[in-house]
Amino acid sequence: MKKQIIIVGLDGGTFTLIDEFIEEGSLSFLKFLKENGSHARMLSIDQNTRVPISPTIWTSLATGKRAEKHNIKSFFNLQSDIKSARFFEIFNHYGYSVGNFGWELTWPPEDYGAFNIPCNMARDNRTIPKEASAVQELRKRSRKKASGFLSNLNLFFRLFSLKADFITLVKTALDVSKKSNDKRKKQFMNLMNGSRIHFMVFKNLYKKYNPDAAFYFIPITDSGAHYFWKYYDKKNFPDIDAKKRSAYGSYLKKIYEEVDRQLQEIHKMNEDADLFVISDHGMKPIMEGSFETISLRAKKFLEISELESKVELYHVGLNCVINVRENSPIDSKFLYNYFKNVVITSIKKPFFEIVEMDNTGRIFLKVLQRDKGDYEGKDFSNLQVRMGSTVAAMSELVELNDLERSADHDEWGIFMHYSKNLKSGKNLPDCEIYDFLPTLLKCAALPAADDFDGKSLDIGYKDCTERVPTYDFLVKRNNLREESDDSFVRDELKRLGYMKDE
């Protein structure tokens, strides 16, 4: 008999906050999970040369493999780039139906026997079933200016038909239309309203399809920490204005309380199902002012280097992504070598501390940061940068204190598992993201593969005695690459605060 499994992904979920809020008397269900299930810190770093990015980590979680094997290293990769089998294909292979709501790189949606709602960075509104496309339209619309009344009314009723609560929909419509100069309050309301609507649709789809395995993604823990950590954390941010702390100091806790409520409802939907709660990374406070971050002035850099007509450049946090324009006279390999040889002459150091190229030809750059210590004792305003035969003042090419955030990604995410049939309260040793899939397969009594980079965790089940060499024979993606409009990805990265407008 198949065992039913529900996986909930918390974007940036961290025990740092979970444990603090439990200590304060909140998060009763997460407390229950810790006391009655298994839990561990989960190391999320997949690439040592760059801060972990979500598509890479979620693909490592889904495949049990490192990025070098599964081939995903960019926000701009597509599902067709994945070279390893994910748990969707593996479970389908053994006759399990799988429902997905938001796993990274699930666009265009494939039919795994239930529902499939692709992640926030889907390039269009396609979903399985088709009527659930209203969820994607809501996501896209939240990033842009409000549409016309009739269009919004149509979306309202389509979401209502998916069992989104009438009162929540009305409240969302009012909050979106309301003009407000309070940016933080509006961000908080948008996060909470959107999450509640998504959750109601997920519950409806789960009840309708009753899949053997299901995934539900909750993104508000990541965005909430980026925006609101400093207002909650008096210890690390003692100088926050008292009025702002009073206004916004409860937001981060309220976000985790909403997550706790959703988790408890998910458990009540199917108390016989094994429940996993995982995150792609944790979060940690950034002490603003402890050192200045340095970002590239994209337009000026392209103008001086004479690359303006040849490439596109856009920011993802402090990183930059370079795309070679169609019909450009230069190629990615030339650019890669060019960027490698841009030098800060006065300190004899590379201008870019990161220069990487992925399998699509996109190039990732990051300017040498102050925290490395290379600028110590130097007058920043006098530094010069050599780009081929051109020399420019560094102050022309960069700007300081680029990002307004009080928390950023931490390498330690979370792993939690609960089954009513197992003993309680296991605090497991630290694990890695590659350990999740072998553990998931153990839970379902399915064979692990010899080419996994992780191992199964001791959650109370026995390992399947059978093993397979690999599951990669299940990868049968369409060789015709889907037409990809990266503007959808850029819009989502701007909404999350990772990318800025030029």
User: Do 257 and 332 have their domain in common?
Assistant: no
Residue with the two structure tokens 């955030």: 405
Report pLDDT for 287: 65
User: Do 350 and 381 have their domain in common?
Assistant: yes
Residue 382 forms part of a structural domain: yes
Question: How many Cα atoms are found within 13 Å in the side-chain-facing hemisphere of 242?
Answer: 0
Q: What is the DSSP string of 74-114?
A: STT--GGG--S--HHHHHHHTT--EEEES-SS--SPP--EE
User: Do 353 and 410 have their domain in common?
Assistant: no
User: Do 361 and 385 have their domain in common?
Assistant: yes
Q: 395: part of which helix (H) or strand (E)?
A: helix 394-397
Report pLDDT for 381: 83
Nearest to 16 by CA among 37, 34, 39, 41: 41
Name which residue leads in pLDDT, 170 or 10. 10
With H, G, I as helix, E, B as strand and everything else as coil, classify residue 378.
Answer: coil
User: Do 137 and 15 have their domain in common?
Assistant: yes
Report pLDDT for 296: 87
User: Do 323 and 227 have their domain in common?
Assistant: no
% the chain with pLDDT above 90: 59
Question: Dihedral (C-alpha) 301, 305, 309, 315: value to the nearest 10 degrees?
Answer: -30
| Strand spans (E) along 202-270 | 213-218
Q: Which of 35-44, 142-151, 350-359 has the highest mean pLDDT?
A: 35-44
Please check the confidence at residue 487 and state whether its pLDDT lies above 80: no
With H, G, I as helix, E, B as strand and everything else as coil, classify residue 464.
Answer: coil
Region at 263 (left for phi over 0; alpha for psi -120 to 50; beta for the rest):
alpha
Q: How many domains does the chain have?
A: 2
For residues 211 and 98, give the distance between their C-alpha atoms in angstroms, rounded to a whole number: 5
Please check the confidence at residue 315 and state whether its pLDDT lies above 80: no
Report residue 222: phi and psi, to 5°.
-75, -55
Find the largest Cα–Cα distance for the chain. Answer: 71
Residue 309 forms part of a structural domain: yes
Nearest to 224 by CA among 9, 490, 14, 467: 14
For residues 140 and 123, give the distance between their C-alpha atoms in angstroms, rounded to a whole number: 10
Residue 444 forms part of a structural domain: no
Residue with the two structure tokens 């944790």: 282
Contact criterion met (CB below 8 Å) for 143 and 491 = yes
**With bands split at pLDDT 50, 70 and 90, how would you rate the model's confidence at 192?**
very high
Q: What is the DSSP string of 313-366?
A: EEEETTEEEEEEPTT-SS-HHHHHHHHHT-EETTTTEESEEEEEE-TTS-EEEE
* CATH code of the domain containing 33: 3.40.720
Buried b (16+ CB within 10 A) or exposed e, 464-496: beeeeeebbeeeeeeeeeeebebebbbbbbbbb
Report residue 2: phi and psi, to 5°.
-70, 140
User: Do 386 and 462 have their domain in common?
Assistant: no
Q: 151: part of which helix (H) or strand (E)?
A: helix 149-161
**With bands split at pLDDT 50, 70 and 90, how would you rate the model's confidence at 291?**
very low
User: Do 238 and 198 have their domain in common?
Assistant: yes
**With bands split at pLDDT 50, 70 and 90, how would you rate the model's confidence at 488?**
low
Please check the confidence at residue 48 and state whether its pLDDT lies above 50: no
Residue 492 forms part of a structural domain: no
* Bridge partners (DSSP) listed for residue 400: 294
pLDDT average, residue stretch 424-453:
95
For residues 349 and 74, give the distance between their C-alpha atoms in angstroms, rounded to a whole number: 26
Please check the confidence at residue 50 and state whether its pLDDT lies above 50: no
Min mean pLDDT across 22-26, 163-167, 256-260, 345-349 is at 163-167
Q: What is the DSSP string of 279-326?
A: ES-EEEE--TTSS--EEE-HHHHHHHTT-TTTEEEEEETTEEEEEEPT
CA distances from 274 to 39, 50, 60, 465 (A): 14, 34, 21, 21
For residues 58 and 71, give the distance between their C-alpha atoms in angstroms, rounded to a whole number: 12
User: Do 199 and 332 have their domain in common?
Assistant: no
Report pLDDT for 385: 96
Contact criterion met (CB below 8 Å) for 127 and 99 = no
Residue 483 forms part of a structural domain: no
Domain that holds residue 330: 294-400
User: Do 172 and 32 have their domain in common?
Assistant: yes
Contact criterion met (CB below 8 Å) for 387 and 5 = no
Residue with the two structure tokens 């039913």: 4
Average pLDDT score, the chain: 87
- DSSP letter, residue 238: T
Report pLDDT for 171: 77
Residue 351 forms part of a structural domain: yes
- The model carries a pTM of 0.81
User: Do 298 and 150 have their domain in common?
Assistant: no
Residue 14 forms part of a structural domain: yes
Please check the confidence at residue 325 and state whether its pLDDT lies above 50: yes
What's the distance, Cα to Cα, between the start and end of the chain in Å? 55
Report pLDDT for 402: 45
CA distances from 137 to 61, 115, 120, 494 (A): 27, 17, 10, 17
For residues 481 and 490, give the distance between their C-alpha atoms in angstroms, rounded to a whole number: 20
Using a 10 angstrom Cβ sphere, with 0-12 exposed, 13-18 middle and 19 or more buried, the burial of residue 442 is buried
Please check the confidence at residue 306 and state whether its pLDDT lies above 80: yes
Residue 486 forms part of a structural domain: no
Q: Where are the alpha helices (DSSP H) in 429-481?
A: 436-443
Q: What is the pLDDT of residues 262-286, one digit of tens each?
A: 999 999 999 999 999 999 999 999 7
For residues 157 and 164, give the distance between their C-alpha atoms in angstroms, rounded to a whole number: 9
Q: What share of the chain is helix, strand, coil (3-state, %, to 5)?
A: 40, 20, 40
User: Do 262 and 143 have their domain in common?
Assistant: yes
- DSSP letter, residue 462: P
